[in-house]
Structure 1
Amino acid sequence: MSLTLAPEMRAVLDRLLAEDGVQPDPTLLPPAEGRAAAEAGNRRWNGPEPAMARELRVETPDGRRAHVFLPAGDLGREAILFIHGGGWAFCSAATHEGAARQLAVETGAAVVTFDYRLAPEHPYPAGLEDCLAVWAGREAILAGRRWSVAGDSAGAHLAVALMFRLNGRDLPATGLLFYGVFDADFESPSYVEVAEGPGLTRAKMLRYWDFYTPAAGRLEDPCLTPARAPDAMLAALPPLYLNAAEIDPLRSDAERFSARLTALGRTDRFDIVPGVVHGFMQMSRWLPQSVAAYRRAGEVFRALT
């Protein structure tokens, strides 16, 4: 792979640098300061567009606030539980509102976002348990729908862990997994090639992992490293769509996870988006590759469901 930034991606990165200057690494700040920096950096991607037919703010059965986005194309049949990324330590439903809107429009499904407990104060499995609680209470949010799950980065990781923990019962109809964390091999090809970014770096991912869980046992727990899960657990997953950013330390995670699935004879879909960096789907207001990625996810979602 050439690992050359697409001109559109370069333009976005240049614009961010011009507007914000060089920002401190949030993983090196105290958790509250790091979260504030991540919130400020990510909320810029939100806005009233694309407009929804309806938006609801509800309380889940476990007392959690959830935001429901219902697009104009919603037929009352499908819903997607969207789990936000942020290294298990940063971001929120609020930082990913733009992502939820885009996903709702392109899939034609209702999209539900929520907050879960964050590391390092709440390490594994706290955030996963919150995701499972919201999944268990989803009928109280929107009743009578067929539910799928989606997530970006650490949110994609939590989505797979949720499916594993359901153990074949009450599974989502499908999973949409955007540039996810699926392994903990920090010497993989992409971790080496994209060690210094731009954007996500190997050093940041090492700190995110340390925030989330100790190194001991990571490779043995499928809910931590899904790419190493037993064949039977992978075979039991519902149909999946995966994508990866080409210029991303996590690209090899998705490639290896996809290869494991394919080796089992599954027909999941997998795309690598050339010339873009980790988190590019947050940038739909400025980046055409982001808009195209949501459109592709919508096409695959409709085909799989």
Structure 2
Amino acid sequence: MMPLAMLSPEMAALLAELQQQDAGLADPTTLPAAQGRAQSEQSNVRWNQQLPPMAEVTPFSVSDGRLPALSGTLYTPENAGAGAIIYVHGGGWAFCSAATHQRSARLLAQLSGVPVLLFDYRLAPEHPWPAGLEDTRRLWQQLTSGKLFPHLDRHKLALAGDSAGANLALALMLAQQPDDIRPVCGLLFYGVYGADFTTASYRQCANGPGLTREKMQRYWQWYQPDHQQRLHPLVTPLNASDQALMALPPLWMNAAQVDPLRSDSENLAARLHQLGRRDRLQIVPGVVHGFMQMTLRLPAAVTAHKEAADAWHNLTR
């Protein structure tokens, strides 16, 4: 089946509208990084309106004096429960920010009933691998040491992320040592876990709509241009050993049906299941990569946040 025929009516109508709104704009991955980043930030403003209210919105900035300060925001809903979800934003390791994902983070906080922490990390190509992973690890260490937000239960923290953010979240889980405080679970949304551009979904959805094979190849060229280094399991988690995968906390994953990255999630889920794990993968029909940003207009995006919130509760009982 052709990708366009796979789209839900709601997704198809929204994509047609976005195509009109963005007429004349260049593919941001073909622009100089700073210019593409600025265009991406502006394009995402439309998804960050009518923000779900929070009981507290707490900006933060922390620095160890060695690397640039980490900054972000803790979104605390009314009657917040124990623990928190640390959300690593997507954007091809090169685009997007805490600002572009704040509605998604707020909605996840509201639906899960626990605080969600959203932060900025160093972006490629100026800061290729492992800079983003190092920043994610630095933030995790600040939280689990009690130096940042000591009121949060550091033994009930989850890691979440979308797209490249899911890659960073999963890589951090794989990189953790036995004496580290580990996440109680991982919530991973349409992640990039490999760099094989010949998978079934890359072939099926090579030209989009939305994310394309060429865009992903450019993101990879910015993030980790060395093809040999791309085999490192902290770059492509699908290359992790069975032992490393077995040591992961419980995972809940989703993937968009009409997405070059769908096979990454399917292949990861298959490996986990072969190991006897019970991690769940939800393939969301009729939607494209990045659909969870579209909660203002796309019912499937809201449903996906509800399912992620339910997974948090199910996996942390």
User: Which residue of structure 2 lines up, in the alignment, with residue 213 of structure 1?
Assistant: 224
Q: Deviations over 1:218-239 (max 9, x none)?
A: 4531111111210000000000
For structure 2, which runs of at least 5 residues remain unmatched after alignment? Answer: none
User: Which residue of structure 2 lines up, in the alignment, with residue 70 of structure 1?
Assistant: 76
| Contact 2:93–2:223 (8 Å) recurs in 1 | yes
Q: Does residue 1:245 correspond to 2:256, yes or no?
A: yes
User: Which residue of structure 2 lines up, in the alignment, with residue 225 of structure 1?
Assistant: 236
Distance 2:277 2:98 in 1: 32
Q: Count residues with an aligned counterpart.
A: 304
Q: Does residue 1:149 correspond to 2:149, yes or no?
A: no
Secondary structure in structure 1 of the residue aligned to 2:183: coil
Distance 2:79 2:271 in 1: 35
Q: CA deviation at 1:48?
A: 4.2
Q: Work out which of the residue numbers 124, 136, 140 in structure 1 matches 2:147.
A: 140
Greater Cα shift, 154-163 or 55-64: 55-64
Distance 1:155 1:91 in 2: 10
Q: Does residue 1:30 correspond to 2:32, yes or no?
A: yes
Q: Does residue 1:131 correspond to 2:136, yes or no?
A: yes
User: Partner letter of residue 294 of structure 1?
Assistant: H
| Contact 2:47–2:293 (8 Å) recurs in 1 | yes
| Contact 1:246–1:274 (8 Å) recurs in 2 | yes
Q: Does residue 1:16 correspond to 2:23, yes or no?
A: no
Q: CA deviation at 1:2?
A: 6.7
Greater Cα shift, 295-304 or 12-21: 12-21
User: Partner letter of residue 66 of structure 1?
Assistant: G
Distance 1:207 1:149 in 2: 26
Greater Cα shift, 224-233 or 139-148: 139-148
Distance 2:277 2:138 in 1: 29
User: Partner letter of residue 107 of structure 1?
Assistant: S
User: Which residue of structure 2 lines up, in the alignment, with residue 102 of structure 1?
Assistant: 107
Q: Deviations over 1:151-201 (max 9, x none)?
A: 000000000111111134221111100000001110000000000001100
| Contact 2:224–2:230 (8 Å) recurs in 1 | no
TM-score, scaled to structure 1: 0.96
Change (3 A) 1:22 1:274: farther
User: Which residue of structure 2 lines up, in the alignment, with residue 274 of structure 1?
Assistant: 285
Q: Deviations over 1:56-81 (max 9, x none)?
A: 11122443222010112412x11011
| Contact 1:35–1:91 (8 Å) recurs in 2 | yes
* Match runs of 1:83-98 below 5 Å: 83-98=88-103
User: Partner letter of residue 160 of structure 1?
Assistant: L
Q: Work out which of the residue numbers 254, 279, 296 in structure 1 matches 2:265.
A: 254
Q: Work out which of the residue numbers 40, 49, 52 in structure 2 matches 1:50.
A: 52
Secondary structure in structure 2 of the residue aligned to 1:286: coil
Q: Does residue 1:165 correspond to 2:175, yes or no?
A: yes
User: Partner letter of residue 54 of structure 2?
Assistant: M
Q: Work out which of the residue numbers 183, 203, 215 in structure 2 matches 1:192.
A: 203
Q: Does residue 1:122 correspond to 2:124, yes or no?
A: no
Distance 1:291 1:284 in 2: 5
Distance 1:218 1:237 in 2: 22
User: Partner letter of residue 32 of structure 2?
Assistant: P
User: Partner letter of residue 51 of structure 1?
Assistant: P
| Contact 1:56–1:69 (8 Å) recurs in 2 | yes
Q: Work out which of the residue numbers 71, 77, 84 in structure 2 matches 1:79.
A: 84
Secondary structure in structure 1 of the residue aligned to 2:47: coil
Distance 1:188 1:113 in 2: 31
Q: Does residue 1:298 correspond to 2:305, yes or no?
A: no
Q: CA deviation at 1:217?
A: 2.2
| Contact 1:60–1:66 (8 Å) recurs in 2 | no
Q: CA deviation at 1:11?
A: 1.5
User: Which residue of structure 1 lines up, in the alignment, with residue 246 of structure 2?
Assistant: 235
For structure 1, which runs of at least 5 residues remain unmatched after alignment? Answer: none
Secondary structure in structure 2 of the residue aligned to 1:137: helix
User: Which residue of structure 2 lines up, in the alignment, with residue 39 of structure 1?
Assistant: 41
| Contact 1:81–1:149 (8 Å) recurs in 2 | yes
Distance 1:132 1:155 in 2: 13
User: Partner letter of residue 69 of structure 1?
Assistant: Y
Secondary structure in structure 2 of the residue aligned to 1:275: strand
Give the share of equivalent positions with the same residue, in percent: 50
Distance 1:27 1:66 in 2: 25
Distance 1:17 1:256 in 2: 31
User: Partner letter of residue 20 of structure 2?
Assistant: A
Greater Cα shift, 248-257 or 16-25: 16-25
TM-score, scaled to structure 2: 0.93
